[in-house]
Amino acid sequence: MSLFIRIFVVFFALMLAILAAGFALAIGVMVPDVVTVTADPVEHFTFFAVQFFATSFVGYAAFVPALVLIAIAETFDLRSIFYYTLGGAAIGMFAYYGSNISVALENTTDMPPVSFGLQLVAAGGIIGGFVYWLVAGRKAGRWKAG
């Protein structure tokens, strides 16, 4: 029974980590263009649209590599915060180099291109890895004990 509960916790933590990484990416994309926070509903809608897109991109690009790193951590009882944050950064950079999304979006939107994309995805991965560690990574492999 504890394995079933652990699988549920792992997937819940992974979804929270993907949401946090997508939120970090949306903030990183939107904040340089927004000097002041206003009550303009168009700006709020734009932020949430970018956040939805970033979260869906993070989920699409990071789900399988994250499951591989989680399986390794659960197998070898890796509970270090550095494992999860560096793994998140590696997944973010893998997704950055593995997709050519900036070129695809360059001609379809009027947003200026993101000039610091590698740092942004690494930071999003670190934040996602930290959130996963907070929820599930600290107790990796403990389900085997009892």
Answer whether 10's CB lies under 8 Å from 70's CB: yes
pTM of the model: 0.83
Q: What is the pLDDT of residue 41?
A: 79
Whether the per-residue pLDDT at 109 is higher than 60: the answer is: no
Structure tokens at 22: 């997508």
DSSP state of 113: P
Residue 109's Cα: distance from chain center in Å? 23
Q: What is the pLDDT of residues 43-89, one digit of tens each?
A: 778 777 877 877 887 788 889 999 999 999 999 999 999 999 999 99
Domain limits, the chain = 2-144
